Amino acid sequence: MIAFLAGGLPQDKAERVDGHVESCQSCRLLVAAVAKSSRDATPVAAATLAVGSNDATLAAVDELAMSPTLAGAATPAAGDGVKRGEQVGRYVIQGVLGKGGMGVVYAAFDPQLDRKVAVKLLRPELAAGGGEAAAARLLREGRAIAKLAHPNVVTVFDVGTHDGSVFVAMELVEGRSLDHWIAEKRRPWREVLGVFRQAGAGLIAAHDAGMIHRDFKPANVLMGKDGRARVTDFGLARFGGERTSKPRLAAGTEEVARLTRTGALLGTPAYMSPEQFEGGEVDAKSDQFSFAVALYEALYGSRPFAGLTVGELFANITEKNVRPAPEDSTVPAWLRETVLRGLEPAPANRYPTLASLLVALEHDPALKRRRVAFAAGGVSVLGLGVVATVLVLGRTAAPSCRVSPTALAGAWDAPRRADVERAFGASKAPYAKDQLAVVLKELDTYAADWTAMKKDACEAAQVRHEQTEQQQGLRTVCLEQRTIELRAITDLLAHADEDVIRNAHKAVAALTPLAGCADLRALSSRVPPPADTATRIRVDALRSRLAKARAIGTAGKYTEAQAAATQLAGEAAQLGYRPLHAEALLLAGALAERAGDAKTAEAQLTQAVQAAEAGRDDLAAAQAWVTLVRVRGISLGKADDALVAAGHASAMLERFGGDAEEQLKLDAYRGLVLSEQGKYAEATALAEKVLAARRREVPPAPLDLASALNDVGNRYEEMGKYAEAAKAQAEALALREKQLGPNHPEVAATLHNLGNTQFELGDLPAAEASFRRSLAIREKALGPTHPEVALVVSNLGVLMRTLGKYDEAIAFYQRALAIKIERLGPEHPSIATVMHNIGATYMTQKKFPEAIEFLDKGLALAIKVRGPEHSEVAAFYGTLSQCYRGQAKFDEAFAAARKALAINEKALGPEHPEVATDHSHIGELYLSQSKYVEALAAFQRALAIHEKTLGPDHPDLAIALSNIGNAQIALGKHADAAKTYERALALDEKGLGKDHPDLTYDITGLGDVYEKLGRHDDAVAILERGLTLRDGDRIAYQYALTKLYLGRALWNATKPDKARAKKLVAEAAELFAKGDYKIAIKWAKDWQSKHR
């Protein structure tokens, strides 16, 4: 009998004993006496069933008595299959915490994350005996709790197997179980309600996730030393709407039956609802019944229904024979009536939801005279997952605005800080220590600011009387919402993987600023929370889950977070609370863009605008419009639509009263859109405006400043101001190194950008150094085969190709190709892109057979993964055309160029810029065959497309104009060519600035045509300017051409300088020879032979 009570019997023997005890009064009395003495002797006891007036106990043989995650004095593991010091998974066993009919709970240590955990392991004899039912139940328990993320639900870390047995690793809570808390002493009823509100909030979180606990009781609630209650032991949890099974089912039925046979009653009888006894449909109202039984027990010291047997107990439950309240009870009548409704035998007569029951528990008539509602329907603070209606006591009492030291318990306190430090300390990432320092500093600052604002909200209303109590309520609600968000972020950091650690600074920076909780105009303008308190509880639960999704997104897990946010948006829509609906859609849309789904992003953000406007949340509407600027202008390439969105965003921000951070984002995104339109000067002005604002911020935000410097650097680079760009990027690099440490991937990204700028400056050694350092950081931080490593390796390939180190370039490209194949698979679309780069490099080497081999392979892959009519396929045909042109295979070249044109016209439309490029390629082929009329027609068609799509003043028109000028010179139309080149030069000067090296292309053409027109002095002037624009070896051919044309012009100038003319032409010839430009070499030699 003792073994039966301790859960030590095999399942078949336990079933026989259970059946005998139920029919034998003597054995029942023996069981009751032994169980009671066992409970008095040790905290590790079987779960109990109240019988008779003296609360003698019967054991429920299927349950661990003690909460499975409660930290206590663990005894050395012996005789239970796992010894002290042995490992279960990665967890080192330290001792036994509790035992039951199904499993053993051990105290254990996780060496990877340096923390104590609880490990629940299937009992060895069950595992050895093929206990599939027990194993399935334990697996289900782990998976059930793992679906939840709530401060009032125990956290599951891991589920796995050990020697054929299932184990669940979970949070080890310092404290005791609720049944021991209840048994210690009679507690004031208000104290009891405070604890049960927390437990109820945990159950509601399970219900919101679609799960039913089915075995709620005090033994399955942990009372931590931090004062927080946590619901645990979800071993019987199932999804709502499932039917349970009656006791004593025969073997051979379906799985649910096998999991709940005799000896494994579906729940602990003392707390079971009638429908569980009868095998009826079990839903959240069944948990409500169990909750009411437990609450009754805590309030009165005994359970509501007597019964020596399960049959007697069931009869009392169905007849609602509730014990009378003790004569000395102080529990008020209204509270008793509230609890009794939860004990109704018929589910339809109970509260509609557990949330409704919690609301009813708030309705203390004695407090009504002192309660002041903060809004028409009353405003409740729904923070920390607990209903906590704000009570404002009359001003006659001296108000205390001291913020409790536990106000942020579980969100940012000493235990949570220690968890974060352990998680980061266990990481092998070279930047983990630096990231931890950033995170701790930011979180400490945020918590201090939160506390200060909480105190100010109270003092403003209660001490200084500057604000009303209603306004204090609005600010308090706002701060509690920030707490939910803070908890989600710190929970993520406390269980951080490498992705989370790498993005930790972004996660903390993404915390919603506290300043909004002082903006009374904005707080009062929004639609207030629903008047129905039950709905408000669900709003709070959804907001908690939304905060978790946002936290996951900040860690770079965009797809997972976007799916969660989209689901939450649907649930919020059903609730009908539009501000929350807008928040969820805004997050989902932003994450969709990050995940690469710009069309979904645009749709969700548009819906977010509508929901925000309906909810009178101007800030959320402005944020949605601001994000739409980026999505439409950058991700979708719809610049005009993006600028329309920018106008809406500006208007909404003005109506809101302004928001500095959103205004800076708007300016930055508008700048990106203007850059895409070729309006580089306007884009640069906006980037400089944002940078100036970031420099003025107090306190400074170094990483935001670094981002602004990076944007300015990009704009300067577009303007050809490479020196200024490099200076801005160097400053950004220094900031990121200081904040994130020298080994963080974002430092590598900044080095990558700096390397690109140095490349444009012609400082190729510096560019190589930056690229190689970026590569070293990424290899160490991310591993040698990370996709970001492939990115910098590809750039090194471009650099080597520019340096003429073609074999090294090919080697880098081949490495990038290998990484992509390994990490992305052999048929990933980006594989084709690398093959294109390799083929293009071979083409530059004039190794046309090798080039064509790679291009053909890449083309086949592109056709397979993209389809034969994709624009990327057209790019392959375009490069193949150039290879055939190099081989003088003009028929093949024309065929490939026309295929590219046909594909792009169908895929992109006949007036797309890529189609204009295809016409230009065909024009170049005609030029090579001296078919100048056809060439001019093709170039003019390209120009017409560019003018229509980009406008007549876009800098990109300059390339098409230069091509037209070349054809006009060949046709002898020198006056027309001069006008064409002058227009090209004007456009490039406007878009790139007057000192951009790429102006050399226009200048050489213009100098050549001036010389042909006999305007020798004009030619000298423009070509002298061209010599000052040299950009290293990047445009060596154009530089040599400038020398050749200038030499010719100087010979014929009004004041000729023949000595310099000959010197310049000789230097040009040397440069042409170095680059193996045979036709240009002939031009120089021919001139030299005639001008000695």
The band of 684, judged by pLDDT with boundaries at 50, 70 and 90, is: very high
- Report the C-alpha gap between 159 and 138 in whole angstroms: 9
The continuous run of DSSP H or E covering 917 comes out as: helix 913-928
- Report the C-alpha gap between 885 and 928 in whole angstroms: 8
The band of 17, judged by pLDDT with boundaries at 50, 70 and 90, is: low
pLDDT at 57 over 80: no
What DSSP line would sit under 345-403, residue for residue?
A: SSGGGS-SSHHHHHHHHT--GGGTTT---SSTT--EE-GGGS-EE-----TTSPP--PP
| Domain 783-900 is found in CATH 2.40.50.140 | no
Q: Which of 14-23, 324-333, 344-353, 677-686 has the lowest mean pLDDT?
A: 14-23
- Report the C-alpha gap between 363 and 354 in whole angstroms: 15
- Cβ atoms within 10 Å, residue 373: 16
Q: So what's the pLDDT on residue 10?
A: 52
Average pLDDT over residues 346-361: 87
- Name the range with the highest mean pLDDT among 142-146, 948-952, 1052-1056: 1052-1056
N-to-C CA span, the chain: 121
Check: CB of residue 439 under 8 Å from CB of residue 504. yes
619-629 pLDDT per residue, tens:
899 999 999 99
What DSSP line would sit under 105-124, residue for residue?
A: EEEEEETTTTEEEEEEEE-H
Give the CA distances from residue 421 to residues 69, 826, 918, in Å, rounded to whole numbers and listed in that order.
22, 40, 57
Q: Which of 262-276, 301-315, 877-891 has the lowest mean pLDDT?
A: 262-276
The band of 294, judged by pLDDT with boundaries at 50, 70 and 90, is: very high
The band of 825, judged by pLDDT with boundaries at 50, 70 and 90, is: confident
More confident call, 965 vs 535: 965
pLDDT at 73 over 70: no
- Name the range with the highest mean pLDDT among 61-65, 717-721, 844-848: 844-848
Q: So what's the pLDDT on residue 364?
A: 64
Q: So what's the pLDDT on residue 100?
A: 63
Average pLDDT over residues 400-409: 80
What's the topology of domain 186-366?
Transferase(Phosphotransferase); domain 1 (1.10.510)
Pick from 1082, 1083, 1084: nearest CA to 1065: 1084
Average pLDDT over residues 604-613: 96
Q: Which of 517-526, 556-565, 1031-1040 has the lowest mean pLDDT?
A: 1031-1040
The band of 135, judged by pLDDT with boundaries at 50, 70 and 90, is: low
More confident call, 66 vs 500: 500
pLDDT at 50 over 90: no
994-1026 pLDDT per residue, tens:
888 888 889 999 999 999 999 999 999 999 999
Q: So what's the pLDDT on residue 399?
A: 52
947-1000 pLDDT per residue, tens:
887 788 877 788 899 999 999 999 999 999 999 999 999 998 887 778 888 888
Check: CB of residue 1021 under 8 Å from CB of residue 1035. no
- Domain edges within the chain: 2-59, 70-175, 186-366, 370-398+406-556, 783-900
Query: Tokens 């005998």 map to which residue?
Result: 20
What DSSP line would sit under 35-80, residue for residue?
A: HHHHHHH-SS---EEEETTTTEEEE-TTS-SS-TTEE--PBPP-SS
- Name the range with the highest mean pLDDT among 174-183, 697-706, 718-727, 974-983: 974-983
Q: Which of 208-217, 531-540, 691-700 has the lowest mean pLDDT?
A: 531-540
Contacts of 1087 (CB under 8 A, 6+ apart): 1044, 1047, 1048, 1065
Torsion of CA 736, 739, 741, 747, to 10 degrees: -20
More confident call, 711 vs 35: 711
Average pLDDT over residues 806-835: 90
Check: CB of residue 39 under 8 Å from CB of residue 67. no
Check: CB of residue 1066 under 8 Å from CB of residue 1088. yes
Q: So what's the pLDDT on residue 720?
A: 72
Q: Which of 29-38, 98-107, 356-365, 464-473 has the lowest mean pLDDT?
A: 29-38
What's the topology of domain 70-175?
Phosphorylase Kinase; domain 1 (3.30.200)
pLDDT at 44 over 60: no
Residue 420 corresponds to which tokens in the numbers above?
């974060």
Q: So what's the pLDDT on residue 210?
A: 79
Q: For the whole model, what pTM was predicted? A: 0.51
More confident call, 410 vs 578: 578
- Report the C-alpha gap between 767 and 914 in whole angstroms: 30
Average pLDDT, the chain: 81
Specify the 3-state DSSP secondary structure of 1083: helix
215 catalytic? Reply is yes
- Report the C-alpha gap between 228 and 152 in whole angstroms: 7
Active-site option among 110, 215, 659, 1008: 215
Q: So what's the pLDDT on residue 534?
A: 66
E strand segments, 633-787 = none
Task: Provide the percentage of residues in the chain whose pLDDT is more than 90.
Answer: 42
Q: So what's the pLDDT on residue 644?
A: 95
More confident call, 132 vs 322: 322
Q: So what's the pLDDT on residue 400?
A: 63
- Name the range with the highest mean pLDDT among 330-334, 358-362, 372-376: 330-334
Q: Which of 50-54, 146-150, 553-557, 972-976 has the lowest mean pLDDT?
A: 50-54
- Report the C-alpha gap between 509 and 703 in whole angstroms: 9
The band of 39, judged by pLDDT with boundaries at 50, 70 and 90, is: very low
Pick from 861, 829, 862, 856: nearest CA to 843: 856
